[in-house]
Amino acid sequence: MTQSNSSSKKLLGVLIGGSGLIGGTLAHYFKTKTPHTIELRAPSSKKLSIRNAADIKDYLKRLQPDFVINTAIANIGSDSQLAFEVNYVGTLNMARAAAALKIPYIHVSSAATLPNGENLTENDCLEIQPQLNNYAKSKLMAEETLRYMHKAVGLDYTCIRLAVVYGEHDHKIQGFHRLFFSIADESMPVLFTKKNVMHSYSNANKFPYFVHHALENREEFNGETYHFVDKDPVELANLILTIRSYLELKTPREIYVPYSMAIFGKKMLEVLLKGLSRIGIHGGLPAELMFLESFYKTQTLSAEKLLNSSFIDPKPEETIYTKLPALVVYYLKRWTHENLISTFNESILHPQAMAKDFERSPIELLNSVHEDSTSPFIDLIDN
Q: What is the mean pLDDT of residues 338-366?
A: 56
Please determine, for residue 57, whether its predicted confidence score (pLDDT) is greater than 70.
yes
Please determine, for residue 211, whether its predicted confidence score (pLDDT) is greater than 80.
yes
Mean pLDDT (the chain, rounded): 84
Between CA 128 and CA 140 the distance in angstroms is 7
Please determine, for residue 212, whether its predicted confidence score (pLDDT) is greater than 70.
yes
Q: Are strands 11-16 and 38-41 parallel, antiparallel or unpaired?
A: parallel
Alpha-carbon torsion, ordered 350, 355, 360, 363, to 10 deg: -130
Inter-helix orientation angle 320-337/176-184, to 10°: 60
Residue 186 confidence class, pLDDT cut points 50, 70, 90: confident
Superfamily (CATH H level) for 3-163+200-233+299-318+353-380? NAD(P)-binding Rossmann-like Domain (3.40.50.720)
Q: Domain ranges in the chain?
A: 3-163+200-233+299-318+353-380, 171-197+255-297+319-351
Q: How far is CA 79 from the centre of its chain?
A: 17
pLDDT at residue 372, rounded to an integer: 67
More confident residue, 337 or 91: 91
pLDDT at residue 319, rounded to an integer: 93
pLDDT at residue 5, rounded to an integer: 47
Between CA 143 and CA 260 the distance in angstroms is 33
Q: Do residues 257 and 292 lie in contact, with contact meaning Cβ atoms separated by under 8 Å?
A: no
Q: Are strands 105-110 and 67-70 parallel, antiparallel or unpaired?
A: parallel
pLDDT at residue 266, rounded to an integer: 63
Mean pLDDT check: name the lowest of 10-24, 27-41, 317-331, 341-355: 341-355
3-class SS at 13? strand
More confident residue, 32 or 360: 32
Between CA 265 and CA 262 the distance in angstroms is 5
Q: Do residues 233 and 198 lie in contact, with contact meaning Cβ atoms separated by under 8 Å?
A: yes
Between CA 236 and CA 244 the distance in angstroms is 12
pLDDT at residue 79, rounded to an integer: 85
pLDDT at residue 147, rounded to an integer: 96
Between CA 299 and CA 119 the distance in angstroms is 8
Model-level pTM?
0.83
Residue 282 confidence class, pLDDT cut points 50, 70, 90: low
- Give tens-digit pLDDT for 97-136: 999 999 999 999 999 999 999 999 999 999 999 999 899 9
pLDDT at residue 287, rounded to an integer: 52
Q: What is the mean pLDDT of residues 192-209?
A: 94
pLDDT at residue 379, rounded to an integer: 72
pLDDT at residue 204, rounded to an integer: 93
Mean pLDDT check: name the lowest of 156-170, 265-279, 298-312: 265-279
Q: What is the mean pLDDT of residues 286-300?
A: 73
pLDDT at residue 304, rounded to an integer: 97
Q: Do residues 270 and 285 lie in contact, with contact meaning Cβ atoms separated by under 8 Å?
A: yes
pLDDT at residue 343, rounded to an integer: 42
